[in-house]
Amino acid sequence: GENVEQHPSTLSVQEGDSAVIKCTYSDSASNYFPWYKQELGKGPQLIIDIRSNVGEKKDQRIAVTLNKTAKHFSLHITETQPEDSAVYFCAARMGKLIFGQGTELSVKP
């Protein structure tokens, strides 16, 4: 069935280091892949997205890569800061958005 797998479930990095979160999706017809950041008690906030006709997209310290053949996409955060600490969700559009399980990122000062 439709599924998005996300790894790791938790990630702890030192401030200034990079963080990488990876997702795979099951439906090869998926054509849109957003990433959301969720802070405690708040709704998911869109931070970056990529469409299937693009292999990579960057916005300041955040980048997303997409490998359609392998059905993988990844979020890269460089120069991490304590305020990057949150739960990050990947998602893939298979008609509706299907979310991954989430990654709890902790950035230690």
Partner 1 sequence: EPEVTQTPSHQVTQMGQEVILRCVPISNHLYFYWYRQILGQKVEFLVSFYNNEISEKSEIFDDQFSVERPDGSNFTLKIRSTKLEDSAMYFCASRGPPGEKLFFGSGTQLSVL
d(CA 85, CA 15): 10
- What's phi and psi for 40, nearest 5 deg? -55, 125
Among residues 65, 102, 105, 107, which is the contact residue for partner 1, using CB under 8 A?
102
Verify binding: residue 81, partner 1, rule CB under 8 A.
Answer: no
- Kindly tell me which of 51 and 108 has the beta carbon lying closer to partner 1: 51
Strand partners, 107: 13
Which amino acid would we find at residue 67? Answer: N
Q: Is 46 in the site for partner 1 (CB under 8 A)?
A: yes
Q: Which is nearer to partner 1, 73 or 89 (CB)?
A: 89
| CA 89 to chain CA mean position, Å | 5
Of 21 and 93, nearer to partner 1 (C-beta) is 93
Residues 6+ apart with CB under 8 A from 40: 86
Please identify which residue in 89, 92, 105, 107 interacts with partner 1, judged by CB under 8 A: 89
In the complex, the residues that contact partner 1 under the rule CB under 8 A are 32, 34, 36, 41-46, 49, 51, 89, 93, 95-102
